[in-house]
Amino acid sequence: MKSLTIHPSANLQGQCRLPGDKSISHRALLFNAIAEGEARITNFLPGEDCQATLGCLRDLGVRVEQEDATTLIVHGVGLRGLRAPAAPLNCIRSGTTMRLLMGLLAGQAFDTTLTGDEQLLRRPMERVAAPLRQLGARMETTNGRAPLWIQGGPLNGGQVEIAVASAQIKSALLLAGLYAQSAVTVVEPGPSRDHSERMLSAMGASVEKNGLRVTIQPAARLNALSIQIPGDVSSAAFLIAAAVLAPHSQVKLLDVGVNPTRTGLPDMLRNMGAQISIEDAHMQGGEAVANIHVQTSQLKAVTVSGETVVRMIDEFPIFAVLATQAKGATIVRDAAELRVKETDRIATTAEELNRLGADVTPTPDGFIIKGPTPLRGGEADSHGDHRLAMALAVAGLITSEPLTVTNTHCIGDSFPGFEGLLRGLGARL
């Protein structure tokens, strides 16, 4: 069982580039697989989750060459060129892989089984299957979870209203819409990240966005799209937090994706009084990219709710660490979605931070965190959740004694190289 010991640290300094954005890496690989032509993907995230997508696509007959760990050449097979896999597709721990494949495979001319490891098999999949069935998809879950069986076939168009603002559910429906007999309109209850709409449009799909409605027309083809993946803002969150919390620190993160549907944490940190700035913003492959400059700051408590929750849904474990050092009571509400992530992130985050001396009260849809509270060292458990593992590692920078985080093998799911980058900035690991 892998573990990581972090010693209290100060004076983090320097600049660094982050691994490629996980959401965009999945989509660049998946969408180019069904495009016409050859696409070169650079700064691809070589984490376990994206490797799951790569493995599944190869099992579906797609040829992908790797020039190196972060550069791929995808030879698209076209919308109708996927082959029936010889065995169930293993999505390992990647919910994104499974949910996007559900939409893609619903309209194919063959049947597929999707499975994964124990952690993934606990996560809800009926929330994706039910809307797809409204388009005529034939799929069966195991009590609402995977393994699941997809009987490929013709799909109808129409309007689908989804109950949760989820980019994964929306993306599954948009992929199915490429194969439908008429237009598919997805109506969300609130905004979610829009990487799929941006990329599909850039590849020639007819995608129209109107408020919380997105409509996609059936497609004859997608054009291959070579892309340089921007740095992952969700991974940047851990280094941003490290610089805010560790005394006498100043850090610059280069070429980070700052899509406005993903920047809830930097925006909220500004509201808390953090010295953080977005610099040299520009567009790259349809996505906003910028440098992020951050330094040690005193924080005040805030309330997070509504649409902001969706814009920082992956960042709540590290946000909770930051909130333990903010003056006052920080309140998070409308975040019940955290209970069906890799772990129940409301329960596990509260449990582990309280073990370190924090004052975190879990609620049905969030937390109440009182601060500032000194944190003690010792031992904490990631529960196999990559984002909790990294959040606890950052907490170790300000504990009174060294902190050992157990079950840290999962960090590689989304942020290979995390320890090296943190060490390179001066953290004592």
pLDDT tens for each residue of 96-118: 999 999 999 999 999 999 999 99
Nearest-CA neighbor of 238 among 379, 367, 384, 415? 415
Categorise residue 231: left if φ over 0, alpha if ψ from -120 to 50, beta otherwise. beta
- Identify whether 189 is preceded by a cis peptide bond (ω within 30 of 0): no
pTM: 0.95
Q: What is the pLDDT of residues 362-413, one digit of tens each?
A: 999 999 999 999 999 999 999 999 999 999 999 999 999 999 999 999 999 9
Residue 252 is assigned to a ligand binding site: no
Residue 370 is assigned to a ligand binding site: no
Confidence of residue 328 (pLDDT cuts 50, 70, 90): very high
Confidence of residue 175 (pLDDT cuts 50, 70, 90): very high
Token match 């079950």: residue? 407
Q: What is the pLDDT of residue 277?
A: 97
Give yes or no for a contact between 194 and 165, defined as CB atoms under 8 angstroms apart: no
Residue 22 is assigned to a ligand binding site: yes
Percent of the chain with pLDDT over 90: 99
Mean pLDDT of 205-230: 98
Give yes or no for a contact between 221 and 196, defined as CB atoms under 8 angstroms apart: no
Residue 95 is assigned to a ligand binding site: yes
For residues 66-99, one letter each, b for 16 or more C-beta atoms within 10 angstroms of the residue's C-beta and e for the rest, the string is eeeebebebbbbebeebeebeebbbbbbbbbbbb
Q: What is the pLDDT of residue 243?
A: 99
Question: For residue 65, is pLDDT > 80?
Answer: yes
Q: What is the pLDDT of residue 219?
A: 97
Q: What is the pLDDT of residues 221-255, one digit of tens each?
A: 999 999 999 999 999 999 999 999 999 999 999 99
Percent of the chain with pLDDT over 70: 100
Residue type, 36: E
Nearest-CA neighbor of 131 among 96, 173, 102? 173
Confidence of residue 285 (pLDDT cuts 50, 70, 90): confident
Question: For residue 1, is pLDDT > 80?
Answer: no
Confidence of residue 297 (pLDDT cuts 50, 70, 90): very high
Give yes or no for a contact between 423 and 400, defined as CB atoms under 8 angstroms apart: no
Mean pLDDT of 23-36: 99
Q: What is the pLDDT of residues 8-18, one digit of tens each?
A: 999 999 999 99
CA dihedral 254, 259, 263, 264 (to 10 degrees): -170
Residue 80 is assigned to a ligand binding site: no
Confidence of residue 352 (pLDDT cuts 50, 70, 90): very high
Residue type, 266: P
Crossing angle of helices 233-245 and 316-323, in 10° steps, is: 10
Residue 387 is assigned to a ligand binding site: yes
Question: For residue 56, is pLDDT > 90?
Answer: yes
Residue 127 is assigned to a ligand binding site: no
d(CA 168, CA 196): 9
Confidence of residue 85 (pLDDT cuts 50, 70, 90): very high
Catalytic residue numbers read 314
Which distant-in-sequence residues (6+ apart) come within 8 Å of 360 by Cβ?
A: 320, 324, 349, 350, 353, 354, 367, 368, 369
Residue 333 is assigned to a ligand binding site: no
Nearest-CA neighbor of 166 among 213, 127, 108? 127
Token match 């610089």: residue? 243
Mean pLDDT of 73-85: 99
Token match 């700052």: residue? 258
**Domains in the chain, ordered, with CATH?**
3-19+230-424 (3.65.10.10), 22-220 (3.65.10.10)
d(CA 303, CA 268): 9
Mean pLDDT of 328-344: 97
